[in-house]
Amino acid sequence: MADKSISKRSRRGSGAITLKDVARLAGVAPITVSRALNSPAQVSKEVHSRVQEAIERTAYVPNRMAGGLASSRSRLIAAVVPSMVFSVFNETIEALNGTLFDAGYQLMLGLTGYSEEREALLLDSVIGRRPDGIFITGIMPPGRSRSRLIASGIPIVESWDLTPTPIDMLIGFSHQKIGRAVAQFLIKKGKRSFAIVTAGDERAQRRNTAFIDTVRALGLDEVAVHNVGDIRTLRAGRAALAALITSQPSIDAIFCSSDLLALGVITEARERKIKVPAQLSVMGFGDVPFVGDMIPALTTVHINGGKIGRLAALHLMASSQGNAVQQPIVNLGFTIVERESA
């Protein structure tokens, strides 16, 4: 009956209070403490309060790594997002995090910086944590990453786009329809000479292509495209207008791939005393919180980012508990919010 703590081998572990310590203090078996914590209904009132007291006195905090390993449930959800800084994904992440937290889950955040290489690395690292679910911004094209994701067996929510073949679940909207709708909106406003100010990412390109095709189908002038690549700043938006106005002075409407770029275009227009929307209509994408309260208020495409986050959290949690997916594809749609800038 040697005391375990005086074993021959030197001590391992973190030295923190464990379930065992609490159990000893409460005079019960470790498993009873586990039950008092996880399914109190299975424990008698008397034992429960004794355990509670022991937990208080020791300031015990259960080790969720150990719990996760034993139960194959980590209560961790991972989110893979391109960027955080003033991005359209912020609301989604806040909503995701809030919904998860209220249910006892935690959020692991991964940022790809719009780089596919980084995304692949990140995904492997994420899978290694064995999260109960993974939220992905965008859809996973066939390839190594997609295969690994599927092989991992972890519930996946793809988002922010549409495809008939999601891995698991999908909450999104059609970028093609947005491009078309924006073009039609602008044309209906009487605009005839269009330009696009866009970042380099693939989803933006699909909006652009649809926009261009719609304009082209009507036999209007070619759409001038200014691509800012990875520089999604307000300043890039200003520079874009400066460049466009020189090369193609006839432009009377610009569709931007983000609200921030649109703000840049509007700012530069003001600098150049170009009247928005009288001389130039400007539209953004995202409907980020404050753009509706600026002067001129931005006309833009509204995406319900919060809802994407909440739905994703709910789906992921349900799915990890073995509940079948009700609706594998949810099309949240979008709305054009008409304000002053177009």
Partner DNA sequence: TTGAAAGCGCTAACAA
Partner DNA sequence: TTGTTAGCGCTTTCAA
Task: Please give the residue ranges that form the binding site for DNA (CB under 7 A).
Answer: 7-10, 12-16, 18-20, 28-32, 34-35, 37-38, 41-44, 46-48, 62-63, 66-67, 69-73
Largest CA distance in the chain: 92
Q: What residue type is assigned to position 229 of the chain?
A: G
Nearest to 95 by CA among 281, 244, 308: 308
Q: Does residue 145 contact residue 120 with C-beta atoms inside 8 Å?
A: yes
Q: Kindly state whether residue 217 participates in binding its own copies, applying the rule CB under 8 A.
A: no
Least distance between its own copies and beta carbon 162 (Å) = 25
Least distance between its own copies and beta carbon 294 (Å) = 6
Other C-beta atoms closer than 10 Å to the C-beta of 19 total 20
Among residues 20, 40, 295, 321, which is the contact residue for its own copies, using CB under 8 A? 295
Q: Kindly state whether residue 10 participates in binding its own copies, applying the rule CB under 8 A.
A: no
Q: Kindly state whether residue 134 participates in binding its own copies, applying the rule CB under 8 A.
A: no
Nearer to its own copies, 233 or 248 (CB): 233
Residue 76 burial by CB count (10 A; 0-12/13-18/19+): exposed, middle or buried?
A: buried
Burial 262-281 (b: 16+ CB within 10 A, else e): bbbbbbbbeeeebebbeebb
Least distance between DNA and beta carbon 121 (Å) = 18
In the structure, how many helices (H) and strands (E) does the chain have? 12, 12
For its own copies, which stretch binds (CB under 8 A), given 40-48, 96-104, 178-186, 210-218? 96-104
Cα(119)–Cα(145) distance, integer angstroms: 9
Q: What residue type is assigned to position 316 of the chain?
A: L
Q: Kindly state whether residue 301 participates in binding its own copies, applying the rule CB under 8 A.
A: no
Residues that bind its own copies (CB under 8 A): 12-16, 59, 61-66, 68-69, 72, 74, 76, 83-86, 90-91, 93-94, 97-98, 101, 104, 106-111, 113, 122, 124-130, 147-148, 151-153, 233-235, 238, 260, 263-264, 267, 270-271, 288-290, 293-295
